[in-house]
Structure 1
């Protein structure tokens, strides 16, 4: 008899997580959207490989589509149309990304906030993570602040040789190329 590849407990936990994510964004008046999974063009990112999907419109014409590597392009078109704050919880597909921590098909949460500053987005991410994991609200650091606090180096003004030496010392490598 066929059995699902994940437990009923995991399936129920995923459904609860999705409900919590939707409640989080709903409380902030962020609209859920649903964009197409297939398009007539693949990813423009040279580091992402799109899956090709094909079919026949009729006996004489073949159709070629690509499965989305992320909903970014379609969502940005909605933003450009003036829709406002949006999010999407959807399937995405990336060819040649399979391994212990990668699956070619995965679920992605992507959202856009019109007029939000980087700091406001960082705060919202912290709120989302803390709410989902029932954590106390962390202090939010910028990329630069983390380098200064933990590595005592400014990544924006350091010389390349300083950064290479730091990488070597932290990774235990003899040389960083």
Structure 2
């Protein structure tokens, strides 16, 4: 089985990770490789933002503000970004281009995020892509310092794979149900 096919077949989300995390320097070659996704016009309509330490707490506060909750509900929501030592925000950063539509640029950004999650998993890290309704709110947008032409697609929560983590279970598909011929 080709190495890439095997790697994709092993992919699973890790909802719980340990406090270990790759360094900024560890991420650089993975980001360079993820940038090889198909990109019509070579616009590179994406960017990634590392959130570590206090940035994760500020994200939780922005999420609580966006949700309009206070007290215990705000505290619970504010803890969510603390589930991993490293969050990587995946940002669609669109460019005005007559030949490449916005949706196509968003697809490139999503491709980079997915490729990076595969590369992180192959490097031995636990990864889960998280989104939710708060990802596109003004307080969260402002916290990430996004421009008006950018949208947050979600965060990769990255950490160590817990000892004894069980492989994910996915029901196999019949590929002929999803691949048709004209």
Q: Give the TM-score normalised by structure 2.
A: 0.28
Higher helix proportion, which one? 2
Q: Give the TM-score normalised by structure 1.
A: 0.28
Larger radius of gyration: 1
